Amino acid sequence: MSDESKMEEGQTFTLPDGRKLGYLMVGEGKPVFYFHGLLVGSRLDVLNMREVGEHMNLQIIGVDRPGFGLSTFAEKRGICDFASDISLLADHLGFDKFAIVGVSGGGHYAITCAALLPERLVKVLVIMGLSLPLDVSDMRSEVQMLYNFMTNPLIGTMLLKKVRETTLAMIKNPDKFLKSDAGRKILGDLGGGQIDAESPRLDVGRRSIEEFYRQGDDGIKAIIQEVKLMKKGWDVDLSLIPSGLVHIYHGPGDINSPVSNAHRNAKAVPGAHLEIFEGDTQLLASRNLEKIFEVLK
């Protein structure tokens, strides 16, 4: 593999406890950490944000959470622990101040960082984020079922292994993938823009899904752990967040993270800026990424 290809795959940083943290950097300019979603996404997502980042003078750093991609699974951890990981990675990369973008299942990690690292953050953007504790009541029935059973030790493991098997098989068929709910979801999360079956952007999306499931059984454990933490609720005092630091973006047509989540987050976070893109769905990020990133300039 060439040096350029290796850079396209990312790097790892060894944390003080010996765990590896996987990350990938694109562009040059103001540093922005990107947190991927749940069930789809990884550090590779930022490859589809390179053009926007270069145009807006941003260096976007995609980070794998523990158990996904290149980041070591951690048996016992809380949402707050990821904020410590990010602070250490920022020190390693030489960043004093930085921004954070959290998409979908990465949104509550971004908000937690806003409470724990306010002196280091210039802006925190939450796109289609979920609110805590997880409320599935207004989600579509199949998503409700998945979240309800996911944390059952036996059923959850079996269910997630089936989801993994189905998803990995599906992405081998680009046309089928593009027509599926999961396909539309990943395109929205990754800022996919106009994509067809031959698009390099679609290839990034497929590779990113494979990275999400890279660690096999540890990856399944990581998903279950994340959902348990989401059901538990916030483990940080949100009143610590400075007014105006967090910006929340959502679309009313999102079928996996209903817009009610945005309103709950905006109510819980002091002085949060809330913007609803009327008529938008999971493709909110791809259609509005440059507009959303304007606040980072």
Give the pLDDT confidence score for residue 140 in this predicted structure: 84
Which regions in the chain score pLDDT beneath 50? 1-6, 188-193
Give the pLDDT confidence score for residue 191 in this predicted structure: 42
DSSP code at position 40: S
CATH code assigned at 86: 3.40.50.1820
In SS3 terms, 118-175 reads as CCCEEEEEEECCCCCCCCCCCCCHHHHHHHHHHCCHHHHHHHHHHHHHHHHHHCCCHH
Domain range holding 131? Answer: 3-296
Check if the beta carbon of residue 68 is closer than 8 Å to that of residue 36.
yes
243-253: per-residue pLDDT in tens? 999 999 998 87
Give the pLDDT confidence score for residue 170 in this predicted structure: 80
Give the pLDDT confidence score for residue 128 in this predicted structure: 92
Check if the beta carbon of residue 243 is closer than 8 Å to that of residue 270.
yes
Written as six digits, the tokens of 263 are 């309103």
Question: What beta strand segments (E) does the chain contain?
Answer: 11-14, 20-26, 30-35, 58-63, 98-103, 121-127, 246-250, 273-276
Please report, rounded to a whole number, the percentage of residues in the chain having pLDDT higher than 70: 87
Domains identified in the chain, total number: 1
Phi, psi of 114 (to 5 degrees): -60, -35
Give the pLDDT confidence score for residue 184 in this predicted structure: 59
142-201: per-residue pLDDT in tens? 889 999 999 988 899 999 999 999 888 887 876 776 676 666 555 544 444 455 555 667
